[in-house]
A and B are shown apart, each in its own frame.
Chain A
Amino acid sequence: MKLAPLDYKRPASLQEAIAILAAHDGAALPLAGGQSLIPILAFRLAAPTMLVDLRGVPGLDGIAIGPGGVRLGAMVRWRDIEDEKRLAAAWPLLPAVISHIAHYQIRNRGTVGGSLAHADPAAELPGLAVTCDATIEIVGRDGPREIPASALFVGALSTSLAAGDLIVGMRLPPWRDGRRWAFEEFALRRGDFAIVGVAAYYDLDDAGRVVDAHIGAIGVSEYPIRLTAAEQALNGSPIDDATIAAAARAACAMVEPQDDIHASAAYRRALVGTLTERALARASA
């Protein structure tokens, strides 16, 4: 339960951090808040020879709210999102999702970039990012680039990032006035990892029909997924009990969860339906 020996550097610039990461070709790992990485090192599930602490890198913090949406710097902590009270109006689904992440002490250190890079299948922020068409900002050896969140996650605890790539921020697209939204999660204790979570939002056209439904789930796959069948069941329909029930059935039918020590596949599948129904009922209330 003690970490294996390793080296440590605290670069003072983004370029320096990327140069160190690239030079070690995967043997160096970036350290943000450490709330996922340090347990992995304590269990010796990863064996980096070097940690590159991002604490001294300027420009990775800050929450920007504007007409283009919300931008979260990679070193923004859960606590910072809780404390940014403007988000409740500007992007209400974000603080609602964040409130489910981990416990008090961990929320004081855990970061946006760390959670995205860790890519836990049950983690809330990756689920929000995939559900809501977030853009991930990366700087690597060849300079900056952007990818959709859906292209970041490739497996459990596994991303498409290359050695020397660093997540520097995440952008959420503009939030429309009047949008309906909800997040529902089932965990054994509040703050524990989700067994299943469902995030949902949609807009209504002038005739009261659903447009642009976005529904996604965590805990049912190796990485967060969009529940596209449930979205199709909603789009173009008025929101009522029958539509919600149809969307929940469609969500259940499209997921292929696995058994693990926390829950059986059948239980997770049932939860997807229940939580989709609850999320849509709450969103439409």
Chain B
Amino acid sequence: MTAIMQLSFDVNGAPVVVEVQARTTLADCLRHTLGLTGTHLGCEHGICGACTVIVDDAAVRSCLMLAVQAEGTRVVTVEGLSGDDSLTPLQAAFRKHHALQCGFCTPGMITTLHALLTDEPFADADRIRDVLSGNICRCTGYIPIIEAALEARIAYQGKREDGRR
């Protein structure tokens, strides 16, 4: 039952081939096998949202997905959002609005909001609050996070005119 499985998928735009046990979650595969420790693991049972990554353009919880389920998909982690060392507009807005203190929840906040604003660049504060109800922050509080998301929307709005996915 501990057979090693070989699987291939894209991570942050590059193809990877990994060997993992069937029981390995995508989160553990990203962190331990691929060394992408930007994805944080909080609760490991789908409550806190810290491990959110983007799979085939949809925000998902990487602790609630087995690595083998990612076979053939495109995975984007927080490391993959900026092509270089600079901050994305969303990350810059987080910095400007002090939308993080300890930073543990931040990768999940950023990936969730990136997926949301890519799909819905005109999302209002209520919609952002509704979506972030699945991401737990225990120190900053949500007000600066929502302010940062609202300000970052402009960077996504050139891509879609209707605001709907």
Residues on A facing B (Cβ under 8 Å)? 1-8, 10, 31, 34-35, 38-39, 41-43, 49, 51, 53, 55, 79, 83, 102-106, 108-109, 189-191
Contact = CB atoms under 8 A, between A and B. Distances in A.
B116 to A, nearest CB: 7
B1 A39 contact: no
Interface stretch (B45-53, B94-102, B153-161): B45-53
Interface residues on B, range: 20 to 34
Nearest to B59: A105
Given A4-B23, A108-B59, A39 B45 contact: yes
Interface in B101-133: 112, 116, 130-131, 133
B112 A51 contact: no
A241 B130 CA distance: 33
Contacts of A3: 23, 25
Interface of B: 1-3, 5, 21-23, 25, 28, 44-46, 49, 52, 58-61, 63-66, 68-69, 71, 112, 116, 130-131, 133-134, 165
B134 A7 contact: no
B148 to A, nearest CB: 17
A8 B60 contact: no
A39 B65 CA distance: 10
A38 B25 contact: yes
21 contacts: A1-B45, A2-B44, A3-B25, A4-B23, A6-B1, A7-B3, A10-B71, A34-B65, A35-B46, A35-B61, A38-B45, A38-B46, A42-B63, A43-B45, A51-B22, A83-B165, A102-B134, A104-B130, A104-B134, A105-B52, A108-B58
